[in-house]
Structure 1
Amino acid sequence: MTTATRDLAGLTARMAEIAPGLRVETGPGATGPYAYDASNYRVLPWAVAFPRTADDVVAVLRACREAGVPVTARGGGTSMAGNAVGLGVVLDFSRHMNRILDIDPEARTARVETGVVLDALRGATALHGLDFGPDPSSHSRCTLGGMIGNDACGNRSVRDGRTSGHVEALEIVTADGVRAVADRSGLHPVDPQDAGLVDRLEADVRRLIADNLEPIRTELGRIPRQVSGYQLHRLLPENGFDMARALVGTEGTCAVVTAATVRLVATAQASALLTLGYDDVVDAAEDVPEILRFSPSAVEGMDEAIVATMRVRRGPDSVTGLPEGRAWLYVELEGEDQAAVDARAAELLDVLKAQGRLTGGRVVESPAERRSLWRVREDGAGLAARLVDGGESWPGWEDAAVAPENLAAYLRDFRKLLTSHGLTGVLYGHFGAGCVHVRIDFDPATDTGRAVMRRFLSEAATLVVSHGGTLSGEHGDGRARSELLEVMYSHRMIRAFAAFKRIFDPDGLLNPGVIVEPAPLDADLALRELPLVDTSFTFPHDTDGFTGAVRRCVGIGRCRSDSGGVMCPSYRATGEENDSTRGRARMLQEMVRGEAVQDGWRSTEVKDALDLCLSCKACSSDCPVGVDMATYKAEFLHQHYKGRLRPRSHYSLGWLPKTSGLAGYAARPVNLLLRGPLGRLLARLGGVTTKRRIPAFASRRALRKTLRAAKTPGPAKALLFVDSFTRAFRPQVAGAASRVLADAGITCTPRDGLCCGLTWVSTGQLSVARRIMARTVAHLDDGDDRPIIVAEPSCAAALKRDVPELLGTEAAQRVADRVHTFTGALTDLAEQGWTPPPLPEDVVLQTHCHEYATFKGRRPADLLRRLGVRTVDEAEGCCGLAGNFGFEAEHYDTSMAVADLALKPRLDALDGRPVVADGFSCATQIDHLAGDRSIRALHLAELLDPAADQPGETS
C-alpha cells in the first residue's frame, strides 16, 4: 500500500493541468457514497474522478503515479467482494464513458466503452437479433467494465459461460499511463511511440508464462467457474497468448480498461421455463447432472426464504408459478423450434419425476409468470440481505463453485460447516454451473462476530478446495477472498500471480489489497456497533431503529437502473450516484458513523444528498431490501431544522391543508389574486416556482354540495375519507367516488375535516404531523371497524404507513388496517359480478408512486384490465411533481426532467385517449405538461362514474 503523503490540492491541480475539464470531486459529500460497493467493506477514497475519454484516464493515472496515489476503477459499484472500493482516486466510468461505439451485426461483435450498462448494450443488439451472452442478475445496472473486471457470468452461464469467453479485445491504460490494445494474440501500442514499452511488457509476460508452464497447466482452468486468481492459462502457447482474456477477471489490479470489443450471440427463437420443487436444496442439486444432459440454457436454484421475503415485500401475488416445495430450480431450455423445445421440456419433466426427488414441477406458460419468477431470482442478493423475519445476512462466501456433479456433496458438507459455527445461510445461485451464492448471518459489527466470520471463511475455503472447487465463481476475489488464495493455490502459483501484476503495475497502485498482497479479509469492514439514535419515526421493522433502517442499504444498486419499476426518479434524471437511493443511504450511514460526516443531523452534505429525493416512496417497494428513503428524508429534515428557520416552501407548501381550507371560503377572489402579478410575488416569497400555474381552489359551497350528493341512502358499509387535496381542489372526485362505490355495492358515509398529515411529513415537520395524525386517529378509531376508503393515493398511503410508524400506537395501527385506496376498495370490497358503465378500449395511466409502493397487488392498471379496458398504457415511473417537490423553485428543472422519462412522451403521443391519474400531484403535472392542449387527467372514479355529469360540483 502506498505511503504517499495525502496532498489532495496538489493532485487535483495536476489532473486539471493535464486534463482540462476533467471533473474531480473531493470531500465527504462526494466521496462518501464511493466508500462502499455491494460488499461488506468501506474504504473512503480521497477523490472521485469522472473521465469522459481515454485521455482523461491517462491523465489521472499519470498524475497518480507521480504522486504515488492508488487508483480504483469502478463501474456500477455492484461488486460483492469489495472489488470496487479503495483509497486514493476512484474512477467512475459509468457517468460519462458509457457509449456503445459500434455494433457489427455480420461479425456479431460490439465495441463499447466500459461504463456502458449491460441492459443498454442488450437493448441495442436486440434490434439485430443478437445478445451479449453473460447476464448477471444485476444486468439493469452493472457495467461491461465491472463484468470484465470480475469475469462475470449470470443466469445463463450453463450456455454462455463467463465474460472472458466473449471478449475479443480490450483497450487499456497501464499504470504508467500508456494506452494499448490487448487482443487474442498479444499486446499492441495505441501510440507508436510507446511500442518499446509495450513490447518489453509483453516480453516479460511471455517469460513469466514460460517459466511457470507446469503450475499454470495443472492448477488453472480446472472447472468452468474457476475465476479466483489470474487467468494465466489463457496465455499458454496452446491458447495463442490470449492477452485480452487473460486480463479479464484481474479486477482492475493490472490495467484500467477503457473500452472492449465483445462477441455477441444470436437470440434464441424459442424457449421454455420449468419450475421444479424440492424439499431441500441438496435434493435439487442431486438432479442437476441429469438436467444438464438436456442442454439447458439456465439452471438456477433458490430456497424458500427468498420467496417468502418477496411475497411479504411486494404482495402475495408477486411470486406465482412455483410448485409445492421448500427449494426450487428454474430450468430454461432454448432452441429454434418451439414445438421441439416444448417436447424436450416435457421429456425432462418426466425423467425428473421418475428420479423421485421432485415435490412438483411444471412448465410455465404465462409470460407474466415467467417475468415474475425471474425477478425473484434476480433480486436474490437483496431479498436474502434482509429477510421477512428481520434477520440480516452478509456476503463474504457468496460465490464459491464446484463442478456441477460435485454440487450436492459440497452443499451437504457446507451446511454442516454452517451449523458447526452456529450460522445459517440463504442459498441461491447458478446450480447448473456448480456456483452457489449464499448470504450468511455473520455478525461483522462485533469483535466476536468478526472472529467467527474469519474462522468460518478459512474453513469454507478448505472445504470447497477439497471438493475440487474455487473460492470465486464469478464475483472475483476482492477484499473478501484474496487472502484465502493461498489455500487454493500453490506458493509457486501465488508468486506467479504477484509477478504478473508487478509487470503491469510495478508500484502497486492499481486497486491495491486485491488478489496480490491482499488486505486481511476482516480489515475495512463497514459494519460496526453504533449508538442508537432518538427519532420521531418508530422504524418498527428495524431492531436498531434509524441506525438499522439506513443499514438496510447493502449496495445492490437496483436504484441505478434506467428502466423497470419506479425507483429512483432523480437518479434516472441526473445519472449521479449521489442522487440514487443507494448514494443517499450511504451518506446517511456516514452520518450515523460519525467519521467523515461529523456534524450529524446538522450535516449540509447529507442535506444536499437528500435534496433531489422526490419522496416518491418507490424504493420502499422496488429496493430488494426495502430502503424507504422518503421516511429517512422526513426524519432528517425534522432533525436538521429542529429549532431553526426552515426553507420558505416548508411553510407555504407544508401548511397547505390549513391555508387551502381558509382559501375555500373565498375561492373566487383568491384564485383571481393568485393568477395575477401579486400571485407570482407571493409564490416567490413562498419559495414556489412561478413557472407553474397554482391550482384553483374549490369553494366551500362546491364541497358542501358534493358531500351532500355523496351521501347514499341506507346503512353505509364504509367511510369515504375526504382528504385535504380532494376537499380543496377537486371535490367532484369525492362525489364520483361515492357514486361508483355505491354502484359497486359499497355504500359510504363521507368523512370530512380530517387530515393525514402528509404535507408536514414530506417537509419534515414531524411534531406538527404527529398532532394532526393523533387528532385524525382519535376521530376514526371510535369503535367503528368499517373500511376507510381514500380517493387520494398519497393520503391513503400516509394513513396506511406513516401514521402508525410515526405515532406507534395500537389505535393508529387499527386505523391503518382499515385503509383502502379507491382501487383497492373496488378490487376487494365490490359486490361479485359488478360491472361498470362502458369504458374506453385504450387508456393512458399514471399510477401514483405512493399507491404503487404501499398498496401491493392493488394497482389501477390491473383493475382497469379486469374491468374490460383492452390496453392500459402505463407511464411507469414518477410524474415528477411529487407533492411539494415539483412546486419548489429549486426543483422545477428536475421535476420536468423526471416527467420527460415516461409521462411526457405518452402525453405527446396521446391521440385522443383518456388519461387517468388518481393522484392530485400527477393530475396537476399532467395539466402543466398539457399546456394549451385540451388534456385533463381523470380520477379513476370519474372514468367509472355512472352519472358523470353531476351539477353543482365545480368551483
Structure 2
Amino acid sequence: MTMTAPGPDAAAVAEALARGDCGDVAGDAGRRAQYSADSSNYRQVPLVVVFPRERRQVINALSVCRRMGVPVTARGAGTSTSGQAVGPGAVLDLSRYYNRLIALDPQARTATVQPGIVLDDLQTAAAEHGLRFGADPSTHSRCTLGGMIGNNACGTHSLAWGRTADNVVELEVVTYRGTVVRLGEMTPSEVDEAIAAGDDRARLIASLHLLAQRNLAALRTNLGRFPRQVSGYALEHLLPERRFDLAKALVGSEGTLAVVLSATVRLISPPPAAALVVLGFRDACAAADAVPALLEHRPLAIEGLDQALTDIVVRPETRAAIDTLPAAKAWLFAKLGGTGEELTGRAQALAESARQAAGFTGGEVITEPARARRLWRIREDGAGLATRLPDGAEAWPGWEDAAVPPDRLGSYLRQFTGLLDQYRLQGAVYGHFGEGCLHVRIDFDFTTEEGTTVFRAFVTDAAKLISAHGGSLSGEHGDGQARSELLPLMYGPDVISLFEEFKSIWDPDNGLNPGMIVRPLPVDGNLRVSPRRTPLPLRTVFPFHADGGDFAKATRRCVGVGKCRSTGHHGDVMCPSYRVTLDEKDSTRGRARLLYEMTQGEVITEGWRSTEVLDALDLCLSCKGCSADCPVGVDVATYKSEFLHHHYRRRIRPASHYTMGWLPLLSRPAARVPRFVNALTSSRLAPLIKRLGGIATEREIPRYADETFLAWFRARTSEGDGQRGPVMLWVDSFNNHFTPDVLKAGVAVLEDAGFRVRVPDGIQCCALTWITTGQLGIARRIGRRTTAALTPAVSAGIPVVGLEPSCTAALKSDLPELLDGDENARALGRATVTLAELLVRHAPGWEPPRIEARSISQTHCHQHATSGFGADRTLLDRMGVDNTALESGCCGLAGNFGFERGHYDVSVAAGEQVLLPAVRAASPDTRILADGFSCRVQIASRTGRTGTHLAQLIAHALTPSDAPP
C-alpha cells in the first residue's frame, strides 16, 4: 500500500497504541501542538506522540501504525532545520526514555547506545576514558545520536574527525514492516551467506546488493564526491570497495528507511591540548578565499562568522568577549590540536599564512580558556542568533547549510551574496568554512503570498547555483521538506530513480517519514507561517515592541533550536523545570510552541482560556533565564504573565495569587505584629494556613523580622561624609520585612564608599509579585506610584541601587515594559544598578576591604538575565576573594514558585542538580554567597547552611565586631 493521508482519528490511534504496549502515548491537543514543528520552517500536526521506553515498544509501535495505515516519524531532540522531524501520523519521541548508554569499550574505542541518548551524555561517559565521539554539531547539548544518524550530522570538528557516517560501526534497525536487521560492513562472502538465509533480512540485502551491482558507475561518479555531500541517500557506501556498508548507507536517510534501535559508534582520542586562532577579514568572502591555504596547517576546525551575527549578541559577558575581537567584518576561528609545546609554533605559522591573504585585517591567538569558550559560544548559538537580524527582522532557515568543495567557497559565496541582493534579501552568514559548508538564515516574508513566491524562486535559483559549483544542497542537516523537491536540480533523473528504488526496497509502504528525499512534499507546503493562516486578534498588556506589538510574532521567536532542552550546566539558567522533568512540555520551546499554536486557534482552540497552555506554564519558574540564554530571546516569563492576566480575568484565581501575589501589601499589617504572625504561622494552625493560602505543606513560612529595615533606617542618623553624593537605596519588600540585616549591610557599605544613602518616600514596591502572577492591572497601578516616587531622584541624576536581584531586574526591565511609553519608567530602568555595578563603576578610588576567603556564589536568575555577574566578579577579585561562580542554573525556589502547592518536588529537584550539593560539599569556612532572598531560603531549608549577601560579606569585613552576621 502507498500512503496518502492517515485514516483514523487521533483518539483511535492513541487508543490502539496504548493497548499495544508501545510506551507512553499522548493524543491530546497539547502534545500534538508541542510536536507540530521542529527547528525548520515547517509544521505538521501529528495524530499522536509516542514515548517508547524500550526496544520492544518501538517495534510494537511500528506494528500498530502499519496495521492502521499511520505513517511514522522518528524524532530525537527535534532540532532538525529541514522539516524531517515533523509528520502527520505518529511521532516517536525517542529522546525522553529510550536514551541509555548500553556499553562502552575503551580498548576497542566503541560505544553502543540507544538512539535517544544526547551527544553530551555520550561525551561525558567517553571522557572518563580520554575518548569522545568525533562528530559534534553545535546542538551537542541536546541533539541525540539517533537524530545525528538521521541527518549525518557533522559539526565543528568534522574537518579532522569526520561526519557521523564516518564514525558509525554498526546499526540495529527495524523497518516499517517489522524486519529487524543488524547492519555494518559486509564482505562478498558475507553478502552471499546472508542472501542464502532466505528470510526477510536476506531478501532486503539481496535487493540492495543487486541495486548496487547494476549501478556501479553511477554510484562512483555522482555520489561521495566531497565530504559534505550529504544530500540524498548515501548509496556510495554500497560499493564493493567500501565493503558494502549498509550502516553507513543508512546514515543520513532521515528516518525514511528504518528506525534505529541501537547504534555502535567509533570513539576517537582527542589531542592533549588545543589552541584557538582568531583571524579577521574585511568581509566573509575574503575569509572564504583564505581557507584553502589555512587547510594546509591541518586544523581541527575552521569556523567562520559574519559581523551581522555578532551584532545580534546582547548577553553582557559574551558581548564583552566580542568587543575584544580583531577589528573586522568577518572572522575565522581556527582550532589546532596537539601538544602544548608544538601548538605555539603551529598557531603562529597559521596566523602568518592568514596575513598573506587578501582582506586580512588582524589576528590573535587566544590562550585564555574562559575567553575561548565565550567566543565559541557565539558560533554555537549561531542558529538561534541568526533568526533575528540586527534590524529586528525575522530570518528563516530556508537555505540553511549548502556546501561546496572548500576551494570553491569564495566564488560560491560571492555569487550567493549577489543572488540575495537580486531578490532583495539579507542574512547573516556563518558555518564550517573549512569544509565549504555555509549556514545562513534569510529574511523571507512568509506572511504574504508574494513573499512565499519569492522564497520558492530564491531557493530554486540557489539550488542551481550550488549545483553549478559542484556542491550539495545539504552539507549536514539533511534535505527534509526544505530541499527534497530540489534534489533533481542537483542529481538529475537517473540518480533520483536510484533513490526511489532504494526507498522502495526498504519501505515499500512509504510508511516512514513520507515526503522526505523521494516523492517529496513541496518546498513551500506546510509552512509554519503562512498567509493562509490568520492569527487570532489577541490584544496584550505588554507592548512586545521588538515584535511589532504582535504576540503571535513574539511566540514564534522560538525557531526550535532547542537550547532550552540542554540538561548540562554551562553557565545557563534555562530551563530549570525541563532539566528536572525532561518533558518537552516543560521546555521553553514546548511552552512557546503551545502559545504560538494558541494564537493560531487551530489545535489549541480556546485562546487565552486554554487549559493546555495553562498546564504547560504551570512549572515555568518565571526565572527569566530564557530571555538571556535563548539565542532568539524567547521570554516565557513575560508570556506567562501576559497569559495569566487574560486567563484569570474576571475569574477566581488560585489562592497563591492572593497570598504570595499580594505579599508586599499583606506584609505591612503583619510587620506591625510580627511576633504574633510568626507564632501563628508556626503553630498547629500552620497546615490550615498553608492549605488556605495555596502554599506547599513542606515549606516553612518565612518569619517576619521584629523590626523592618525602614523603621530602623528612619530612626537612625546617617554616617559617613557622603562625598560622592546621594544614592537611592531600593527597599524591597523581601529584605525589608524578612531579612533587614541585608539592607542594613548595604547602608554600611554605601556609606563607607562615600555615598549618602536615601530611601524612597513611603513604602514602595516594584510590583514583581503581581507581575509574575499575571495581575497586570494592579501591577501597573503600583508601578506608576513607584515611578512617581522615584522620578525626582532619578531626574536629579541619583542612581538607584537594588540589593534584591529580582526587584532590581523588575525596575530595570519589567516596569519600563509594563508602563510602556512612560519616559520616567524608562529613566528609572536606566538609573537602576546592582550594588556591585555601583561600587565598580560609580565609586572610583574606593577600595573594598581585603577578604582572604574562599566562596561559592549563586547568581540569581534575574540578575543573570539583566545584568550578569561581571561586576560582582570584578569586585570579588579586588577584595581577594577566591570565588567560584556555580554554573547551577536556578536555585529552584524562584519567588512564589517554590512555595506554591504542587511545585515543591520540582523546586527541590532543580536546586539539587548543582546548587544544594555544592553547598553541602563546601568546607565550613567557605562563604556561600547568594544575593537572592529565594536562593538563601532554599539553601537554608535544604542544607542547614546560611547564604550571605554580597553586602553582608563586605560590611562584615568593614566592621567585624558589630556588623550583621
TM-score, with structure 1 as normaliser:
0.97
Mapped contact 2:195–2:202 kept (Cα < 8 A): no
Choose from 891, 905, 908 the match for 1:893.
Answer: 905
Mapped contact 1:232–1:246 kept (Cα < 8 A): yes
Deviation digits for residues 309-359 of structure 1, max 9, x if unmatched? Answer: 114676631425421101000011112x22212111111212221334310
Partner of 2:244: 241
Partner of 2:651: 644
Deviation digits for residues 107-143 of structure 1, max 9, x if unmatched? Answer: 1111111111111111111111111111101111111
Distance (whole Å) between structure 1 residues aligned to residue 195 and residue 923 of structure 2 = 58
How far the C-alpha of 1:150 sits from its partner, in A, is 0.3
Partner of 2:378: 376
Name whichever of 481-490 and 944-953 sits farther off: 944-953
Distance (whole Å) between structure 2 residues aligned to residue 728 and residue 446 of structure 1 = 55
User: Is 1:303 paired with 2:306?
Assistant: yes
* Partner SS for 2:265: strand
User: Is 1:812 paired with 2:825?
Assistant: yes
Q: Which aligned pairs between 1:133-212 and structure 2 lie closer than 5 A?
A: 133-185=134-186, 196-212=199-215
Amino acid at match of 2:127: A
Choose from 214, 218, 221 the match for 1:215.
Answer: 218
Partner of 1:872: 884
Partner of 1:678: 685
User: Is 1:395 paired with 2:397?
Assistant: yes
Distance 1:339 1:193, change over 3 A: same
* Partner SS for 2:545: coil
Partner of 1:534: 539
How far the C-alpha of 1:505 sits from its partner, in A, is 0.6
Distance 1:423 1:332, change over 3 A: same
Amino acid at match of 1:906: A
Distance (whole Å) between structure 2 residues aligned to residue 728 and residue 562 of structure 1 = 36
Choose from 327, 332, 335 the match for 1:329.
Answer: 332
How far the C-alpha of 1:271 sits from its partner, in A, is 1.6
Deviation digits for residues 153-204 of structure 1, max 9, x if unmatched? Answer: 0011111121100000011111112222111128999x99996000001101
Amino acid at match of 2:750: L
User: Is 1:441 paired with 2:454?
Assistant: no
Distance 1:104 1:315, change over 3 A: closer
Deviation digits for residues 583-617 of structure 1, max 9, x if unmatched? Answer: 00000000001100111000000000111000000
Partner of 2:50: 49
* Partner SS for 1:427: strand
Distance (whole Å) between structure 2 residues aligned to residue 267 and residue 952 of structure 1 = 52
Distance (whole Å) between structure 1 residues aligned to residue 815 and residue 94 of structure 2 = 42
Q: Which aligned pairs between 1:711-730 and structure 2 lie closer than 5 A?
A: 711-715=718-722, 716-730=725-739
How far the C-alpha of 1:212 sits from its partner, in A, is 1.7
Mapped contact 1:40–1:527 kept (Cα < 8 A): yes
Partner of 1:751: 760
Amino acid at match of 1:165: D
Distance (whole Å) between structure 2 residues aligned to residue 214 and residue 493 of structure 1 = 11
Partner of 2:231: 228
Distance (whole Å) between structure 1 residues aligned to residue 390 and residue 888 of structure 2 = 27
Distance (whole Å) between structure 2 residues aligned to residue 334 and residue 701 of structure 1 = 59
How far the C-alpha of 1:662 sits from its partner, in A, is 1.1
Choose from 465, 489, 506 the match for 1:463.
Answer: 465
Partner of 2:69: 68
Distance 1:859 1:879, change over 3 A: farther
Aligned CA RMSD, in angstroms, stands at 2.0
Name whichever of 739-748 and 202-211 sits farther off: 739-748
How far the C-alpha of 1:865 sits from its partner, in A, is 3.0
Amino acid at match of 1:83: Q
Amino acid at match of 1:723: D
Mapped contact 1:842–1:873 kept (Cα < 8 A): no
Partner of 2:8: 6
How far the C-alpha of 1:910 sits from its partner, in A, is 2.2
Choose from 647, 653, 672 the match for 2:660.
Answer: 653
How far the C-alpha of 1:508 sits from its partner, in A, is 0.3
Deviation digits for residues 745-780 of structure 1, max 9, x if unmatched? Answer: 333212361100000001000000000000000111
* Partner SS for 1:277: strand
Name whichever of 209-218 and 705-714 sits farther off: 705-714
Partner of 2:600: 593
Partner of 1:78: 79
Mapped contact 2:848–2:954 kept (Cα < 8 A): no
Distance (whole Å) between structure 2 residues aligned to residue 479 and residue 897 of structure 1 = 39
Partner of 1:408: 410
User: Is 1:732 paired with 2:741?
Assistant: yes
Distance (whole Å) between structure 2 residues aligned to residue 267 and residue 91 of structure 1 = 34
Amino acid at match of 1:405: D
Partner of 1:821: 834
User: Is 1:271 paired with 2:280?
Assistant: no
Mapped contact 2:151–2:254 kept (Cα < 8 A): yes
Choose from 523, 529, 534 the match for 2:525.
Answer: 523
Distance (whole Å) between structure 2 residues aligned to residue 746 and residue 235 of structure 1 = 77
How far the C-alpha of 1:390 sits from its partner, in A, is 1.0
Distance 1:534 1:742, change over 3 A: same
Mapped contact 1:168–1:261 kept (Cα < 8 A): yes
Deviation digits for residues 210-229 of structure 1, max 9, x if unmatched? Answer: 12222211110111100000
Specify every segment of 5 or more residues in structure 1 that has no aligned partner in the other structure, as ranges.
none
Number of aligned residue pairs: give it: 947
Deviation digits for residues 896-918 of structure 1, max 9, x if unmatched? Answer: 11111111111221221221111
Name whichever of 597-606 and 778-787 sits farther off: 778-787
Distance (whole Å) between structure 1 residues aligned to residue 91 and residue 946 of structure 2 = 48
Distance (whole Å) between structure 2 residues aligned to residue 381 and residue 215 of structure 1 = 35
Distance (whole Å) between structure 2 residues aligned to residue 951 and residue 857 of structure 1 = 29
Partner of 1:292: 295
How far the C-alpha of 1:388 sits from its partner, in A, is 3.4
Mapped contact 1:317–1:857 kept (Cα < 8 A): no
Amino acid at match of 2:288: A
Identity fraction in percent? 48
Distance (whole Å) between structure 2 residues aligned to residue 248 and residue 552 of structure 1 = 31
Distance 1:497 1:332, change over 3 A: same
How far the C-alpha of 1:532 sits from its partner, in A, is 5.2
Partner of 1:918: 931
Choose from 911, 926, 929 the match for 2:942.
Answer: 929
Mapped contact 1:845–1:916 kept (Cα < 8 A): yes
Distance (whole Å) between structure 2 residues aligned to residue 862 and residue 97 of structure 1 = 44
* Partner SS for 1:507: coil
Distance (whole Å) between structure 2 residues aligned to residue 952 and residue 328 of structure 1 = 51
How far the C-alpha of 1:951 sits from its partner, in A, is 6.7
Partner of 1:353: 355
Amino acid at match of 2:954: L
Partner of 1:562: 567
Distance 1:315 1:145, change over 3 A: closer
Mapped contact 1:312–1:388 kept (Cα < 8 A): no
Distance (whole Å) between structure 2 residues aligned to residue 123 and residue 403 of structure 1 = 33
Distance (whole Å) between structure 2 residues aligned to residue 188 and residue 659 of structure 1 = 79
Deviation digits for residues 12-48 of structure 1, max 9, x if unmatched? Answer: 333333326x210111111111111100011010111
Name whichever of 304-313 and 39-48 sits farther off: 304-313
Distance (whole Å) between structure 2 residues aligned to residue 472 and residue 875 of structure 1 = 36
How far the C-alpha of 1:551 sits from its partner, in A, is 1.4
Distance 1:37 1:256, change over 3 A: same
Distance 1:952 1:384, change over 3 A: closer
* Partner SS for 1:274: strand
Distance (whole Å) between structure 1 residues aligned to residue 622 and residue 678 of structure 2 = 28
User: Is 1:103 paired with 2:104?
Assistant: yes
Distance (whole Å) between structure 2 residues aligned to residue 701 and residue 551 of structure 1 = 45
Distance 1:332 1:483, change over 3 A: same
Partner of 2:556: 551
Amino acid at match of 2:624: K
Distance (whole Å) between structure 1 residues aligned to residue 323 and residue 915 of structure 2 = 30
